[in-house]
Chains A and B, each alone.
Chain A
Amino acid sequence: MNCELAKTTVHGYFDGELDAVRSAEFERHLENCVECQTELKDIESLRALLHESNLYEQASAEFRERIRKQLAHGAERVSPVRSRRWFLVPAFGSLAAAAAVVAIMFFVLQSQTQSARITAELIDAHVRSLQPGHLTDVQSTDQHTVKPWFDGKLDFVPPVSDYSEQGFPLVGGRLDAVDGRNVAALVYSRRKHFINLFVWPYREKEPSFVSSGSRQGYHWMAWQSDDMRFCLISDASATDLRDLKDLIHR
């Protein structure tokens, strides 16, 4: 390989990490550089292979349960790593560890709180929407078709915009139900992934629902703005979700 850019810059370009100027410069170079074109294709197919292979390993139910159970039986069997070398740990150190673990236990039990439940419901809704025929009730890339469709179906007006130019084309919208109420679900696509944007109004005195994370290979990102709540869910990358969030709140 002789082209230096094929070893470095093409990766930054592929990962969307170049600024606009460098990106445009590189695109001009790419038109005439076979090496860079080949490299780009190679890393594209490598990524596709990595994604298709489902290599992501989530925390198992047993693992979550393990923390819970061991604590229920007392903190002395907190962690197998520690218990194997228990005799090395000074007594007060282990007490501190035990106390901290009891606190963790508290969180794990607490994680069945409202926001965790809503997240679980939203992920379920996202997965359901991917089944054939469930993605959209109104299918259109035109925000002026999708937005009026919600009229009379919801007691609020969801913000609807198309971001085709930024790489997130609007696919359509549908009604969904989350947390015992109707919510607007807008569907965007990102490369070959679908992204659901759930929007619903904020009820007074509700605990805040601001979180991000991943489960079962799906990423989510939830936030609040004015009197609305938003949650993006997709198997697209967390970076993509952040980009879309930034577009929504430009």
Chain B
Amino acid sequence: MLEPQDRIRFEQLVLPHLDSATNLARWLLRNRADSDDLVQEAMLRAYRFFDRFHGGDARAWLLQIVRNTCYTWLEKNRPSELMTEFNEEVHQRPSATPESLAAQADERQRLMLALESLSPRFREVLVLRELEGCSYKEIGEITGIPIGTVMSTLSRARERLQRTMTAAAKEVS
């Protein structure tokens, strides 16, 4: 078990990032029920491994654990999602065809589905950059993507999301 002063540090440094953990897991797993369970598991893991945290960016450290927990779960429960990663053309979930997207009355719903239709690798860089405001360095730290390729991964992810949204917009008009 941790020493009392470490427990206080954990409370001050790691717990405030529960929202960030929740957000990343929700987008990686595409649903809230599973992601809350996994965030809970990740918080436990973070607590157990807290002696391995040697200062620095606590949010990135926690999100790395959350991400690993989610990927382990995906490998076990939805391996097909990970197998299609980066295979952009194959990876198009039926729920995110231009037609089904266009059928969504509001743009927010369309955007959510479009984001969910991306492979987990693209989805996570977008979520980390655009929703979480992470720097490239932090994204590299969390996802294990070499810092030099964060920019190009993000660029492809944005292009993919734009294309999906444009296709849906054409269906609407």
Contacts and interface: CB of A to CB of B under 8 A. Distances in A.
Contact of B111 (A9, A50, A212): A50
Interface stretch (A107-115, A129-137, A150-158, A175-183): A107-115
A215 interface: yes
A28 interface: no
A67 interface: yes
A89 interface: no
A87 interface: no
Contacts of A81: 37-38, 40-41
Nearest to A6: B155
B142 interface: no
B48 interface: yes
Contact of A59 (B18, B115, B162): B18
A27 to B, nearest CB: 17
B99 interface: no
A24 interface: no
Interface string B38-54: 11110110011000000
Interface size range on B against A: 35 or more
10 contacts: A11-B154, A50-B130, A57-B32, A104-B43, A111-B15, A210-B12, A213-B17, A214-B16, A214-B20, A238-B132
Given A103-B7, A111-B15, A211-B13, 10 more contacts: A8-B155, A11-B155, A12-B151, A55-B115, A64-B18, A80-B37, A81-B40, A82-B41, A119-B16, A213-B19
Interface of B: 1-2, 7-8, 10-13, 15-23, 26-27, 32, 36-41, 43-44, 47-48, 59, 107-108, 111-112, 115, 126, 129-136, 151-152, 154-155, 158-159, 161-162, 165
B37 A79 contact: yes
A84 to B, nearest CB: 9
A59 B22 contact: yes
